[in-house]
Amino acid sequence: MVVNYKKLWKLLIDKNLMKKDLREMAGISTNAMAKMGKGEDVSTQVLRKICHALDCKIEDVIEIAPEDKS
Protein backbone atom coordinates (compact mmCIF):
# COMPACT_ATOMS: atom_id res chain seq x y z
CA MET A 1 0.00 0.00 0.00
CA VAL A 2 1.21 3.50 -0.81
CA VAL A 3 0.16 6.88 0.49
CA ASN A 4 -0.98 9.44 -2.05
CA TYR A 5 -1.17 13.14 -1.14
CA LYS A 6 -2.83 14.36 -4.36
CA LYS A 7 -5.95 15.33 -2.41
CA LEU A 8 -3.86 17.56 -0.15
CA TRP A 9 -2.18 19.32 -3.05
CA LYS A 10 -5.56 19.91 -4.73
CA LEU A 11 -6.98 21.23 -1.46
CA LEU A 12 -4.12 23.71 -1.20
CA ILE A 13 -4.82 24.92 -4.73
CA ASP A 14 -8.55 25.25 -3.96
CA LYS A 15 -7.74 27.30 -0.85
CA ASN A 16 -5.16 29.37 -2.75
CA LEU A 17 -2.37 28.27 -0.40
CA MET A 18 1.22 27.30 -1.02
CA LYS A 19 3.09 24.46 0.69
CA LYS A 20 5.00 27.07 2.67
CA ASP A 21 1.71 28.50 3.94
CA LEU A 22 0.54 25.06 5.07
CA ARG A 23 3.85 24.37 6.80
CA GLU A 24 3.53 27.59 8.80
CA MET A 25 -0.19 27.19 9.55
CA ALA A 26 0.17 23.59 10.71
CA GLY A 27 3.51 24.01 12.46
CA ILE A 28 5.13 21.11 10.63
CA SER A 29 8.75 20.74 9.57
CA THR A 30 10.21 21.20 6.13
CA ASN A 31 11.30 17.58 6.41
CA ALA A 32 7.67 16.44 6.76
CA MET A 33 6.68 18.54 3.74
CA ALA A 34 9.55 17.07 1.73
CA LYS A 35 8.48 13.53 2.65
CA MET A 36 4.92 14.22 1.53
CA GLY A 37 6.22 15.75 -1.69
CA LYS A 38 7.99 12.46 -2.40
CA GLY A 39 4.94 10.38 -1.47
CA GLU A 40 6.58 9.01 1.68
CA ASP A 41 4.90 8.22 4.98
CA VAL A 42 4.58 10.86 7.69
CA SER A 43 3.36 10.51 11.26
CA THR A 44 -0.29 10.68 12.19
CA GLN A 45 0.63 13.70 14.31
CA VAL A 46 1.66 15.57 11.15
CA LEU A 47 -1.57 14.55 9.42
CA ARG A 48 -3.59 15.65 12.46
CA LYS A 49 -1.91 19.07 12.45
CA ILE A 50 -2.65 19.48 8.74
CA CYS A 51 -6.30 18.53 9.21
CA HIS A 52 -6.62 20.98 12.10
CA ALA A 53 -4.97 23.81 10.15
CA LEU A 54 -7.13 23.24 7.06
CA ASP A 55 -10.30 22.36 9.01
CA CYS A 56 -10.75 19.11 7.11
CA LYS A 57 -10.87 15.35 7.60
CA ILE A 58 -7.96 12.99 7.01
CA GLU A 59 -9.70 11.51 3.96
CA ASP A 60 -9.57 15.01 2.43
CA VAL A 61 -5.76 14.92 2.70
CA ILE A 62 -4.53 11.41 1.91
CA GLU A 63 -5.51 8.38 -0.06
CA ILE A 64 -4.08 4.93 0.49
CA ALA A 65 -3.84 2.84 -2.66
CA PRO A 66 -2.42 -0.56 -3.55
CA GLU A 67 1.13 -0.59 -4.87
CA ASP A 68 1.55 -0.74 -8.63
CA LYS A 69 3.09 -4.15 -9.30
CA SER A 70 4.16 -3.42 -12.90
- Predicted TM-score (pTM) of the model is 0.88
Query: Where is 65: in which H helix or E strand?
Result: strand 63-65
List of domains in the chain: 2-65 (1.10.260.40)
The pLDDT confidence band at residue 68, using thresholds 50, 70 and 90, is confident
Task: Give me the mean pLDDT over the 52-67 stretch.
Answer: 92
pLDDT tens digits, one per residue of 25-52: 999 999 999 999 999 999 999 999 999 9
Q: What is the DSSP letter of 39?
A: T
Distance CA 16, CA 38 (A): 21
Query: Where is 3: in which H helix or E strand?
Result: strand 2-4
